[in-house]
């Protein structure tokens, strides 16, 4: 439960200028100056943070390299690492409301979602991977008599992690939890518009006893700090969540440098497919609306394409319209708000451009399509439903990353599959049907890393999240996340 009295006290509290966390200490940029942190709630300057330089990134990488090589973390027993990480998770939990409010002021997510999805989720994720640290074993190979084959798991080294602005703590923990539990050291680069909470949990990690240099956080622009991490010869693994164009640049940087392993989660254009035999169309409409409009659509797995069987199309869109129009777009720090702010003015402009292009093509704006709460000074947009969208439209092909839903009718199961698979993405999908055989056929046929059936979202830490096609490679969450952060070493012994 959110303590409303504490929430009120925190919402207007001054925010001190932020600082990098490098080698266990807070420090400012080496010559790069500072960047204003603009709150999407009202457009005001919340605080400042360092405009990191390549030298700052190099200092953080050097600290991580030294910390890894001297064994202060990688050389600890898994049980010892586990104890520190569990203490860190407890501290994140203890500061959950502080972190949630700071994050909302920084990136605009509604507090009702942010509290659970950010600090509470991050603490649970760190705890999950901490508990697994001393339960992963190597292997004994079935070698011929007189020979012993051993497969050792060893921490991969220095990890560069670049995370987005929509859920910085949740996604950050998906990277940090398994990397640190495996014994790696990390240089983390948060998004320019959502750095404050990750800096704060790095300080909490030090309070928990994480050795200096094991977790370093450098703020700044991707073209400077992110590029320096990607091109470093001392970073062994790079993990990233963000856009496809940036992912391509990171792969190119790997090729130019040391061929570091690069794991990418690059977003999606996820199809949410509703058949006429869905078990509860009212529930499907409610969940589908939340699957695109919570956090103002700024969710990588958002169900941004709604495919509806033609026989129920008009009735279902009407249900969806009612749910969307009942949602409260408002102050993200009000627990009654259903959808908060758009992260930045730039992102808001991009959202509106997609709607304008759809309108120019003659598509039907069922509801929304406009900016709201302009008098607040912040960046807000009404939940938007666009009907009559062609599968070839930009609105059906490109990731908007905003509260804009493209509705496309279909007639047959085969047509639904063709439309669902007809983009470059393959991150998530959903199928609503009471036909068990159809559900299994669709799970097989739809090209996506996650397929929901009669729900949308909610997959927890126990199952992997990853994409196919141009939605990326590798997996966050579940024990499979460790695969990115271990090297396998074979010992072949003659007895």
265 belongs to the catalytic site? yes
CB-based contacts of 9, cutoff 8 Å, min separation 6: none
Q: Of 178, 185, 261, 179, which is closest to residue 479 (Cα–Cα)?
A: 178
C-alpha to C-alpha distance for 355 and 425, rounded to whole angstroms = 21
- Locus of tokens 């254009």: 269
Residue 444 burial (CB < 10 Å; 0-12/13-18/19+)?
A: exposed
- Label residue 458 left, alpha or beta by phi (over 0 means left) and psi (-120 to 50 means alpha): left
Query: Could you give the C-alpha distances from 344 to 267, 370, 377, in angstroms and in order?
Result: 18, 15, 11
Kindly give, in sequence order, each residue whose CB lies less than 8 Å from that of residue 267, ignoring residues fewer than 6 positions away: 242, 243, 244, 300, 399, 401, 425, 427, 471
Q: Among residues 265, 309, 399, 413, which one is catalytic? A: 265
Backbone angles phi, psi at 136, to 5 degrees: -105, 130
**Tokens 């777009």, residue located:** 329
SS (H, E, C) 303-365: CCEEEEEHHHHHHHHHHHHHHHHHCCECCCCCCCCCECCCCCHHHHHHHHHHHHHHHHCCCEE
Distance CA(322)–CA(397), nearest Å, equals: 26
Structure tokens at 126: 């760190």
Residues marked as catalytic: 265
């Amino acid at each position: 439960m959110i303590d409303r009295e504490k929430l009120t006290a925190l919402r207007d509290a001054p925010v001190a200028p932020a600082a990098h966390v490098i080698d266990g200490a807070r420090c400012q940029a080496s010559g790069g100056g500072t960047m204003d942190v603009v709150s999407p709630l009202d457009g005001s300057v919340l605080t400042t943070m360092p405009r990191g330089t390549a030298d700052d990134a190099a200092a953080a990488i050097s600290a991580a390299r030294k910390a890894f090589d001297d064994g202060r973390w990688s050389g600890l027993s898994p049980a010892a690492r586990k104890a520190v990480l569990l203490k860190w998770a407890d501290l994140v939990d203890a500061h959950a409301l502080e972190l949630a409010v700071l994050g909302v002021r920084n990136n605009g997510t509604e507090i009702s979602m942010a509290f659970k999805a950010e600090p509470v989720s991050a603490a649970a994720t760190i705890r999950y991977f901490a508990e697994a640290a001393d339960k992963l074993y190597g292997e004994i190979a079935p070698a011929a008599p007189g020979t012993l084959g051993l497969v050792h798991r060893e921490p991969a080294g220095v990890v560069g992690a670049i995370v987005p602005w929509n859920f910085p703590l949740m996604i950050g923990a998906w990277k940090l939890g398994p990397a640190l539990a495996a014994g790696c050291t990390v240089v983390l680069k948060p998004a320019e518009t959502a750095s404050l909470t990750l800096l704060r949990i790095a300080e909490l990690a030090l309070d928990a006893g994480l050795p200096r240099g094991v977790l370093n956080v450098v703020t700044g622009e991707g073209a400077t700090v992110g590029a320096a991490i990607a091109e470093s010869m001392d970073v062994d693994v790079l993990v990233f969540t963000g856009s496809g164009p940036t992912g391509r640049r990171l792969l190119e940087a790997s090729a130019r440098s040391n061929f570091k392993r690069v794991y990418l989660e690059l977003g999606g254009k996820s199809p949410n497919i509703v058949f006429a035999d869905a078990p509860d169309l009212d529930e499907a409409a409610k969940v589908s609306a939340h699957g695109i409009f919570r956090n103002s659509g700024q969710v990588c797995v958002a169900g941004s394409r709604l495919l509806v069987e033609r026989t129920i199309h008009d009735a279902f869109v009407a249900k969806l319209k009612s749910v969307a129009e009942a949602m409260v777009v408002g102050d993200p720090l009000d627990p009654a708000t259903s959808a908060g702010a758009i992260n930045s003015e730039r992102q808001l402009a991009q959202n509106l451009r997609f709607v304008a292009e759809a309108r120019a093509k003659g598509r039907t704006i069922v509801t929304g399509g406009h900016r709201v709460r302009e008098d607040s000074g912040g960046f807000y947009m009404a939940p938007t439903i666009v009907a009559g969208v062609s599968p070839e439209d930009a609105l059906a092909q490109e990731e908007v990353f905003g509260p804009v839903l493209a509705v496309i009718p279909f007639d047959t199961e085969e047509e639904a599959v063709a439309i669902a698979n007809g983009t470059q993405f393959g991150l998530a999908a959903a199928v609503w049907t009471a036909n068990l055989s159809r559900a299994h056929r669709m799970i097989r046929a739809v090209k996506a890393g996650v397929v929901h059936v009669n729900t949308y979202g909610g997959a927890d830490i126990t199952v992997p999240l990853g994409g196919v096609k141009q939605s990326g490679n590798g997996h966050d969450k579940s024990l499979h996340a460790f695969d990115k952060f271990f090297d396998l070493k074979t010992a072949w012994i003659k007895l």
